[in-house]
Each structure stands twice: as structure tokens, then as C-alpha cells.
Structure 1
Amino acid sequence: MPSVVASHAINPPSGYTPAATAPVVRPWEKISYGLGDFACGLSWNAVGAFLLYFYTNVALLPAAAVGTLFLLSRLFDAGVDLGVGLLVDRTRTRWGRTRPYFLWTAVPFAILLVLTFTTIDGSTGAKLAYAYVTFALLGILYSFLAVPFSALMPMMTRDHGTRMQLGSARAIGTSASVILATAATMPLVGLLGQGNERLGFALVAGIFAILTLAALFNLFASCKERYYDDAPAGSAVLPHVGAMLRNRAWLVTFLFCLLNFVRFGCVLSVTAFFAIEVMRAPWMIGILLPAVSGTLFLSAFFAPAIFKRTGIRRGCIGALVMAIGLHLALPLVEAQHGLFLTLFLIAAILISLTMTAIFTMAADAVDYHQWLFGTRNEGLLSSGISLSTKVGMAVGTAVIAYILGMTGYDPKAVTDGARTAIRWSYYGGPIMIMIAQILVIMFWPMDGFHDKVRRETDVAAA
């Protein structure tokens, strides 16, 4: 049997209850956890959906240079996320391991969000340098939020059913952030900016920053950590990284999440161009963008029941196969806006089921890690998942930016070649990525295995 150790607190925060008698997660705590994802997602979805548009159409930066900006900044985050994950595992405070980061990072993150959606006067080189600095700093601060937030769930509960509920609450928070960020941004930019998009984007970013602050402070105050392992704060790093890479559940989660966010980044960044230049219906932006992930709100309510019956593997494969079929039909009904939107919304709901599954998979990978190697390493494992979301989004956005650059996209004179590239990026990219996701999820090891893992770790804890 693999090595296992007890899960309990080291220098526990006030109010800690030992694992054997830990109380259930309270309803408001679940809601607050979902609001935590709203806080993390609001800014990042606004960045994913509109920063490429802001850089190319408002700051007037070259599309190819913007693509490089996205890619290099997120590759740099590879080391940042890993470092934050290791730091979380070594954090010892009276507030716990993850919660201090929500308190310490909230204000500077909110400030950087506003600065990122602000441009300066000057040469293209100066504006590009400003964009590099602000976007890179925003990504670094996001790491100090997203990694601890992902590490928090396995510390809150070990019950698989409760984790599915927390995953659903997180999905609702994600959905709310997507709907607000994608549906409200452009109308608010127009309303507040009164025709000045530069001013409008800065003011909207300020509103989003205030909402983010409120949700993060509530997350810090309301959610509790209950489970820890005995890993010493100063233990060697490389053995833990090597163990993480041998954790099959973590690898599947990482790759599945990475592919999901490559698709997400592609679709978010190309949708505005697709609606305006291909569909000739700018009004569809306010429907297509929220539907990309806003349908998480619907799927969150029935995802636990579906995955309880099918398991993660079969449920995700079934949802993705049906979503691929619907995406293949979309080009055939492009001229029929009502039918197009209907098929797209159904496909988005199916894909949202798989996004809900990712949250639970990430927590289950921690249990699997403890069962295999005797330590939980929530921070380190969560850093990898956070990295997959940011790198995936960056790769997806960079691909679209490079495609626009290669086809000579000019917002003042869009060519037929650029429109064709936008069209097939919108359809072909997501289909290929979903096929790859099916291949990855086939290797998920935890379906039907949760009871064995928990039983054997509980025996070791006794």
C-alpha cells in the first residue's frame, strides 16, 4: 500500500477542529468560496475577453507584438506559480496557510487591474513597454491569489460530495464573473466613456477592482482551513516536484485544464472579432461571450448529480463528444442567428460541465497524492493547476493575436483573408482542443477509487 500520513493541523488557526470531529462546511462558507472565484475570475475574464481588443483597437499596439506579450508574460509565470505554491506549503500564520494571501494581495491586485486597462501617451515602444510591465505585474499578483485559492478547497473538507458542492459554488462564481465581465464591459465602456473607450475601460476596471476587493475580504473572513499534513516547512523542493509529476491524477488534471483554457483563451479573444467581422452582428458579443463560460451557472446545479452517476471520466467524454457534434454544425447555420445561438448555448452548457469537473479533480488529486507519497502539498499541486489556467489562456490569446498579425489585420480596413482566418479560428480551434481533452481524460484514475483512498489514509491517521 502506498505511504499515507494523517491530515491534521500544524500550528492551526483559531477555531481549528481535528479531522476526526471536523464540522460540515457551512452554507455561507460555500457561498463565500464561490465568491472567491468571482473575485479571481472577474479581472481575469475581462483580461481574456477584452485586453487584446484594448491593446489593438484602443492603445493601437501591433497585434503580433501583443501576442508575444501574452506568451512571454505567462511563460514567466511558470516559475512564479511554482514559487507561490511552495510558499503556501511553507506558510505558517495564525490565519492558516492560504487565507493571508487573500488579505495581503487584494489591494495591490485591484490597483494593477486599473493600470492594466490604462494606456499612456507616447511612442508605440513606450506604450508596449508600459503594457508589458503592468500585465506582467498583474499576472504575478494573480498567482498570489489563484494558487492559495485552489489550495484552499482540499483544506476545507475531505468529503467528496462536499467538494462537488464547493466545485459547483465555484462554478457559479466563475459564471457570474464571466457574465459580468463579458456582457457588461462594452456597454459600460460606452456609457461611462461617452465615446471615449480609453476613459471607459479605465472606469470599468475601477468598478471591477472594487467588487474584487469586497469578495476577497469576505473570502478571508468566512472560509476556514481544517486539514493539513505533517510536511515540514523547510523540506527539500525537488523531491516534492518529482512526486507531483508522478501523480497521475494531477497530470491528467493539469493537461485537461491546460487544454480547456487554451480553448477558453482562443474563444474569448476571437469572439468580438468574429461577431463584428464575420457575423456582422456586434450585438452578438453580449450573448456569445457570456455563454462561453457563463453557462457554468446552469451546469453547476446538475453537474454533481451527473458526475455521481457517470463518474468524471465518462461524464466528461460524453459531454465533449456532444459538444464537438454541435460545433461541427455551427458553420452550416451561420446565417440563421437564432438557430446558431441555440446550438452554441447547448454546446456551451455541455462544455461547462467539464469545467465544473476540473475543480473537483484538482482537490481529488491532493488526496491521491497523499495516498501515493504520504504528503498532501496542496500549495505545490495547486500552483500547477493555476499555471495551466494562465498559460492556457495566454497561449490561446497569443495564437489569435498571431493569426491576426499574419493576416494583416487592420481595424480600419479588414481584409477578406483576415475574416476567413477569424472564422475558422472560431470553429476549428475549439474542436481540435476538445478532441485532445477526450484523449487526456481517458486516463483519469480516481473514478470509483475515492473510498479506497480515504479508507487507507484514515487507517494511517488512526
Structure 2
Amino acid sequence: MIVEERQKIIAESVEGEVPGHKEMLSYGMGFFGVILVWTLVGTFLTFYYTDVAGISAGVVGTLMLVARLLDGVTDLGMGTLVDRTKSKHGKARPWILWMGIPFGISVVFLFAVPDIGSTGKIIYASITYILLILLYTSVSIPYKTLLGLMSQEPNKRSMLNIYTGIFTMLSTLLITILAEPVASAIGGTQGWTMVAGFCGLVIILTSFFAFRATTERAEVVSLDNPKTDIPLKITLKALFTNKYWLIITGYCVTAYTLNALLAGAGLYYTTYVFGNATIFSLIGFLLFLPTIIGFFFMAKLVKRFGKRNIALFVSILGIFGPLVKMIDPYSLVVFSAGTVIQGFGLLPIIMFLYAMINDTVEYGEWKHGIRTAGLVNSAASFGMKMGAGLGGALIGWSLAFGGYAGGLETQADSAMTVILALNIHIPLFLAIVQTILMWMYKLDEKYPQILADLQERNQ
């Protein structure tokens, strides 16, 4: 049975799954603010710490990894908290309302490191960075969980993810292209603080808007005992025996490590290899060019071929990007061409990943009789954050190993070798691993029968 026929059968069997385009648009707009902050931090924070605030690269790398691993523990706690939340507004939506303002304020403090000496800067950076990622968790986990709660119907869920992808692309492009030029025009720490203030205001407004305009529909309960909280021990066991969640979480770690390298290390490449930091805006745009083009065709392609098959194809295509860059790493034209090709590997992150994560919720419910959307999303989010942390740590540690010194016009040959590896050789290895994991993810072909079984149980 072809994908379109399977999805039609599911759509006819699922009742009450009716998020309209206006609601899906509102959800996507809410994600705009979340990704705005995520991109600002993931792309520019390492460079801000080393070249603006004057913190050593090795310390920055350690901070990135330790803080992200600590945050991974809170991810699981936040997911459990969302699953156990009982309010008139639902389970996920209240957290979006409550935590939007603190999160928006925290990003401003993050990019406002005062000149209080080397030790003082490290302490300030550690406190504000850990605070930001904890607050990010309290907003992002409910957002991701809300996608699964708005609809179980796979086509609607895919459309929700595409709406999310549109605003993810727009916010990512906005920050990637404009953040560095605007911050440099204003100058110093004040420039980055102003950029962060804009992002903080946006997240406050979009969080409130998303809260007001969305509706939770799917129940997050045990099928056998719907009114009783499930013990954490049982839910964790169900989670770690969910093979497709394990695969997609491994994919999250790999893909976000790759994404962190392409974003965070790219500014060092344009600054010291091409000799012009502003070229990073062009490279950032080219990296997302395949995504911009893909939006015009993706909805029809998903209906015809399914999320996983498209994700696998573009992941394979993305492997050739670093190979093209190897032809002449010092040519802007060659590097730009490789960047465009490599950008295809980012398509699953932007367009399919959250829908695929939430599909594993149904698999876990089908296999164990327990539906814990918050825990599944928080655990997958841990993979994303660990990947982002590993990417940031690799950048900091590798630069320190190569003898990088922030703020210099030229770097030592060893530092330049490291910058090349961070932008070309390590991303090639990660792209191959990412493709293997996506090949292992074969839930799409089983999902129609799983959802039909779940509908039959609930009758």
C-alpha cells in the first residue's frame, strides 16, 4: 500500500484531530522566538565569549559541555513535569505562558558579560549560561510536546512540523545574516547585548501568542489506567526499550553536533581563512538555501514518499558537501558550493525531526500501553542539547589544542589546521553517521498499523 493510501486510512480513523491552518500558523510563529534564541546562542555565543568577552577557548569548550549535560538531567524532569501537569489550559500550554518572560530576560544577561576580571567573567558566564539553558528547557520541552498534543494524525503532524520549519528557517536566517553585522555596527559587548535584547522581546511576545492560539487534543495517559500517574520507573523503562526513540535520539545527538559545528565554527572560518567575518552571513544563507527551496515542494513530497525516505535521501546528499569543500578549502566559490550541498543534510532537522520524535510516542504507547509525550520529547531534547554541547565543546577544545588566541588578526598554522577540521573533516564523519541512523529509522512503514491498533483499543 502506498504512503498516500495509508495516510488516508489513518486520517479517516482519527476523530477530533482538527488543527486548522490558522492554529498551525500560530504554533509555528511561537517556535520562531524559540529558534531565534537557540540560533543566537548556538551560532555566536562561543565567538562572543572568546573574541569579545575575552574568555579562553578551552574554558568555553568545557562550559558548553558541562552545562549541556547538566541540562540533560533537567530535560527528563521537565518532560515528566509536563506529563503530570493538570490545568484548565492543558499540560504543555501553561508552561509556554509561565516561562516565556524569564527566558526572554535571561538571554539579555547571557550576552552582557561585564569586565570583572578573568575569574569573574568565567563565573558570570557559567551562571548565566546554565540559567539560560534551564529556562530554555522549560519553554522548549512544552513547545515540542504541544506538537504531539495538537494532533495524532500523521499528515497534520507533518504539516505542523513544516509550519514550524518555515519559521525556524526565517528566524535562523534572520540571526545568521544580521546578528554579526548589527552587533559589529553598534560595537563590543553593547552590540551583542542589543541583539540579545531584541531576541528576548520576540520570545516573550511569541510565547504569549502561541499560548492563546493553540489547543491540546491528544490525551497523555496510560491506556490501562487513564486517571493514575504512571511511576517514573515504569515510564523510563518504557522509554529506553523504545527502539525508534533510541535511534531518533542518537540522530539528534549527531545532527545537532554537526549543526553546532557548521554554525559555531563557520564564523572562525570566514574570519581567518577568508579574512572577512561578514562573509559568514553569505555562508549562513547558502547553508539554508536548500531548505528555502524545499519548502515549495516538501508537503507534496511528504505525502508521496513519507518523512523518513525524504530525510534519508537528503542526508545522503549532504555527505557530498564536505567532499566538495575538500577540492579547494581556500576558494570561496568551492566552499560556497559545498555549503549549499551540505545544507540538504539540515532539512530533516528543520522539517521532520519533531514530527518523527512524536511518532515514537505512538510506538511506545502501542508497545507498552503508556503514552508519555512529555518524557519522550524531553529525552530527545536531551540528545539535541548534548549534541549542541558536544559541538560547542569540540570547537572550544580543538581551538585551544591548536593554540588559538581570540582577537588576533592571524592565527598559528596549528590553529588554522583545527579550523579546517572543524568545518570540513569532522562534519563529513558526522554526516555519514547521521545517514546511517536515518536508514535504521523504519517507523514510517509501521506507523499506520500502530495507529489503527491504538484507535481500536480506545473504542
Q: TM over 0.5, yes or no?
A: yes
Offset, 1:37? 1.8
2:136 equivalent among 142, 165, 180: 142
Instruction: Identify which range, 143-152 or 292-301, moves more after superposition.
Output: 292-301
Can you give the 5+ residue segments of structure 1 that lack an aligned partner in the other structure?
1-18
The structure-2 alpha-carbon separation of the partners of 1:221 and 1:294, relative to structure 1 and needing over 3 Å to count, comes to: farther
Offset, 1:281? 3.5
Partner of 1:12: none
Give the distance between the partners of 2:69 and 2:288, measured in 1 at CA. 24
Partner of 1:207: 198
1:407 equivalent among 380, 390, 402: 402
The structure-2 alpha-carbon separation of the partners of 1:212 and 1:82, relative to structure 1 and needing over 3 Å to count, comes to: same
Give the distance between the partners of 2:324 and 2:17, measured in 1 at CA. 49
Give the distance between the partners of 2:146 and 2:377, measured in 1 at CA. 9
Offset, 1:346? 3.3
Size of the alignment, in residue pairs? 441
Partner of 2:31: 37
Does residue 416 of structure 2 align to residue 422 of structure 1? no
1:453 equivalent among 441, 445, 450: 450
SS at structure 2 position matched to 1:332: coil
The structure-2 alpha-carbon separation of the partners of 1:396 and 1:294, relative to structure 1 and needing over 3 Å to count, comes to: farther
Give the distance between the partners of 1:337 and 1:255, measured in 2 at CA. 33
Contact 2:248–2:357 (Cα < 8 Å) also in 1: yes
Give the distance between the partners of 1:30 and 1:123, measured in 2 at CA. 48
Offset, 1:20? 6.1
Q: Deviations over 1:203-262 (max 9, x none)?
A: 111111111111111110111101113334632101101111111221111111111001
Amino acid corresponding to residue 207 of structure 1 in structure 2: F
Instruction: Identify which range, 247-256 or 314-323, moves more after superposition.
Output: 314-323
Contact 1:253–1:385 (Cα < 8 Å) also in 2: yes
Partner of 2:238: 243
Offset, 1:97? 0.2
2:82 equivalent among 85, 88, 110: 88
The structure-2 alpha-carbon separation of the partners of 1:230 and 1:353, relative to structure 1 and needing over 3 Å to count, comes to: closer
Offset, 1:23? 5.2
Alignment RMSD (CA, Å): 1.8
2:388 equivalent among 393, 416, 423: 393
Report percent identity of matched pairs: 26
Q: Deviations over 1:72-126 (max 9, x none)?
A: 1011012100000000000000100000111110111111000000011212111
Q: Deviations over 1:53-89 (max 9, x none)?
A: 1111111011100111111101101210000000000
Partner of 2:312: 317
Partner of 2:432: 435
1:374 equivalent among 369, 378, 391: 369
Give the distance between the partners of 1:303 and 1:266, measured in 2 at CA. 26
Amino acid corresponding to residue 364 of structure 1 in structure 2: D
Contact 2:36–2:199 (Cα < 8 Å) also in 1: yes
Offset, 1:363? 1.6
SS at structure 1 position matched to 2:352: helix
Q: TM-score, with normalisation over the residues of structure 2?
A: 0.92
Contact 2:168–2:350 (Cα < 8 Å) also in 1: no
The structure-2 alpha-carbon separation of the partners of 1:116 and 1:378, relative to structure 1 and needing over 3 Å to count, comes to: same
Partner of 2:115: 121
Partner of 1:8: none
Contact 1:330–1:340 (Cα < 8 Å) also in 2: yes
Give the distance between the partners of 1:23 and 1:366, measured in 2 at CA. 16
Q: Deviations over 1:249-299 (max 9, x none)?
A: 211111111110010111111001001111224332002124445753433
Q: Deviations over 1:395-426 (max 9, x none)?
A: 10110110111111013251121111101220
Give the distance between the partners of 1:230 and 1:426, measured in 2 at CA. 44
Amino acid corresponding to residue 38 of structure 2 in structure 1: W
Partner of 2:343: 348
Amino acid corresponding to residue 326 of structure 1 in structure 2: G
The structure-2 alpha-carbon separation of the partners of 1:350 and 1:139, relative to structure 1 and needing over 3 Å to count, comes to: closer
Partner of 2:56: 62
Amino acid corresponding to residue 206 of structure 2 in structure 1: A
Give the distance between the partners of 1:438 and 1:350, measured in 2 at CA. 9
SS at structure 1 position matched to 2:239: helix
Give the distance between the partners of 2:123 and 2:285, measured in 1 at CA. 31
Contact 1:147–1:383 (Cα < 8 Å) also in 2: yes
Does residue 244 of structure 2 align to residue 253 of structure 1? no
Give the distance between the partners of 2:292 and 2:87, measured in 1 at CA. 34
Does residue 216 of structure 2 align to residue 225 of structure 1? yes
Contact 2:157–2:355 (Cα < 8 Å) also in 1: yes
Can you give the 5+ residue segments of structure 2 that lack an aligned partner in the other structure?
1-12
